[in-house]
């Protein structure tokens, strides 16, 4: 039995967490969930959106599955997601984007892994209001963090037999900050002669991605570009409802969907639980429960194949109907 922290989040978070827990249980995953609440509801009761008990639970269990938590726009508390990544030093955000069988998209040959630096850049949250008409935001890039993430990208490429790492920056404009990120990637690349190394500017990268995505393999990006480009790559394989991710550190890992809390569809039983489910499948593999992981994948693809799917990927099933169909297919596997 593995103890795993479960953060159910808010918005569509509770609906999709419930779905994933149900599916994992039916697949025989041997997990004891340590349920922790965080976010807006918690602020009112505990004075912070991220109480120490949540961090301590993840530190103790070393692994967590996290549903989305809303980040207030333009005001309010700092993103819980960003705080968690910082507090647990989850320096690598991995967002694999590969075509999913039966989900028809514009391109059939997408197989990209976004490796995003997860602890600094404009996400450091260092902002100041100069006067009513001026605000500054500081972009932090350090050598240590840039080398660490570049090594992660190249190690990943070696481990999973990927051919190329492409570093994505705007080093022609942000000469010092993105320039340092690029310089570190170049240095690390020299230690991995077996992996091809490529450099591209982020604007060109976006254009190329929507025209010819199969040219890309592993993308290495600083935090902000990584966030934006990975939504784009999610779009290439069917949208945010199907895009998985992992936040990896030296001691802990948090698995979560790429998407946010989708308040526009909250409480309507419309959300697609697939992104969290596929992140959960990666978590099962990470904790050594590959049998349950494989069962879920098989049942999920059988479900999609039979035409049962949620509205965001062209179906009409509710979240609960889609979940029940996957459970039914697990029982048949
Ligand atoms: P954040 O900044 O927290 O990542 P966001 O502003 O990018 O959030 P999301 O919450 O990810 O926004 O939602 C973007 C759009 O995608 C919304 O229209 C939402 O309904 C849709 N969406 C996101 N997740 C899902 C899902 N699991 N199922 C169906 N639709 C989704």
One domain, residues 120 and 219: yes
205 and 319 housed in the same domain: no
Number of domains in the chain: 2
Residue 40 binned pLDDT confidence (cut-offs 50, 70, 90):
confident
In this prediction, residue 101 has a pLDDT band, given cuts at 50, 70 and 90, of: confident
For 106-126, what is the mean pLDDT? 94
Instruction: Give the CATH number of the domain where residue 54 resides.
Output: 3.40.718.10
> Which of 43, 30, 33, 109 shows the shortest CA–CA distance to 67?
33
- pTM score: 0.91
* Centroid of ligand 1 to alpha carbon of 77 (angstroms): 20
Could you report the per-residue pLDDT of 266-302, keeping only the tens digit for each? 999 999 999 999 999 999 999 999 999 999 999 999 9
Ligand 1 pocket, residue 73 CB under 6 Å: no
Does residue 230 have its Cβ closer than 6 Å to ligand 1? no
Q: Which domain holds residue 161?
A: 106-236
CB of residue 266 inside a 6 A radius of ligand 1: no
Give the torsion through C-alpha atoms of 115, 116, 118, 121, to 10 deg. 150
Residues 227 and 252 in one domain: no
Residue 254 CB less than 6 A away from ligand 1: no
Residue pair 179/171 in contact (Cβ under 8 Å)? The answer is yes
Residue 41: its pLDDT value, please? 80
Is residue 179 in a domain?
Answer: yes
Residue nearest to atom 26 of ligand 1 (CA): 241
CB of 274 shorter than 6 A to ligand 1: no
Ligand 1 probe mutation, 262, 263, 271, 323, most atoms within 8 A of CB: 262
Q: Note whether 34 and 84 are same-domain residues.
A: yes
From 189, 212, 236, give the residue that closes a domain.
236
> Among 205, 236, 267, where does a domain finish?
236
* Mean pLDDT of all residues in 102-131: 94
Residues 89-113, mean pLDDT to the nearest whole number: 94
Res. 257: pLDDT tops 80: yes
Minimum CA distance residue for ligand 1 atom 7: 260
**How far is CA 111 from its chain centroid?**
16
Between 258 and 133, the higher pLDDT residue = 133
Q: Which residue, 179, 204, 236, sits at the end of a domain?
A: 236
Return d(Cα 200, Cα 212) in angstroms, integer.
14
The reply to whether 50 and 162 lie within a common domain is no
Q: 187 alpha carbon to ligand 1 midpoint, in Å?
A: 37
Both 111 and 228 in a single domain?
Answer: yes
Among the residue ranges 68-72, 214-218, 223-227, the one predicted with the least confidence is 68-72
pLDDT of residue 333: 73
CA–CA distance, 230 with 97 (Å, rounded to integer): 8
Tell which phi-psi region holds residue 133, choosing left (phi > 0), alpha (psi between -120 and 50) or beta. Answer: alpha
């Amino acid at each position: 039995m593995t103890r795993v922290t479960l953060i159910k989040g808010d918005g569509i978070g509770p609906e999709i967490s419930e779905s994933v827990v149900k599916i994992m249980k039916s697949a025989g995953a041997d997990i004891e969930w340590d349920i922790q609440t965080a976010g807006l509801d918690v602020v009112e009761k505990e004075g912070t959106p991220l109480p120490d008990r949540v961090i301590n639970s993840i530190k103790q269990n070393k692994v967590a599955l996290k549903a989305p938590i809303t980040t207030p726009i333009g005001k309010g508390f700092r993103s819980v997601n960003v705080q968690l990544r910082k507090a647990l030093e989850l320096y690598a955000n991995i967002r694999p984007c590969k075509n999913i069988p039966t989900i028809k998209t514009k391109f059939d040959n997408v197989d990209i892994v976004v490796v995003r630096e997860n602890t600094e850049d404009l996400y450091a949250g260092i902002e100041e209001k100069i006067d009513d008409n001026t605000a500054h935001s500081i972009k932090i890039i350090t050598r240590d963090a840039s080398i660490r993430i570049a090594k992660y990208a190249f190690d990943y490429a070696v481990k999973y037999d990927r051919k190329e790492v492409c570093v994505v920056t705007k080093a022609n404009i942000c000469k010092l900050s993105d320039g340092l990120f690029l310089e570190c990637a170049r240095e690390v690349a020299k230690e991995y002669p077996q992996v091809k190394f490529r450099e591209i500017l982020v604007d060109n990268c976006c254009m190329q991605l929507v025209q010819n995505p199969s040219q890309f393999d592993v993308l290495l990006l600083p935090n902000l570009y990584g966030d934006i480009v990975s939504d784009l790559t999610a779009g290439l394989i069917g949208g945010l409802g199907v895009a998985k991710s992992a936040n990896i550190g030296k001691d802990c890992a948090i698995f979560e969907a790429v998407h946010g809390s989708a308040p526009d569809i909250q409480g309507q039983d419309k959300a697609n639980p697939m992104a969290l489910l596929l992140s959960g499948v990666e978590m099962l593999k990470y904790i050594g429960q590959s049998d349950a992981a494989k069962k879920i994948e098989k049942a999920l693809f059988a479900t999609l194949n039979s035409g049962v799917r949620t509205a965001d990927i062209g179906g009409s099933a509710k979240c609960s109907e889609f979940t029940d169909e996957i459970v039914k297919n697990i029982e048949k596997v």
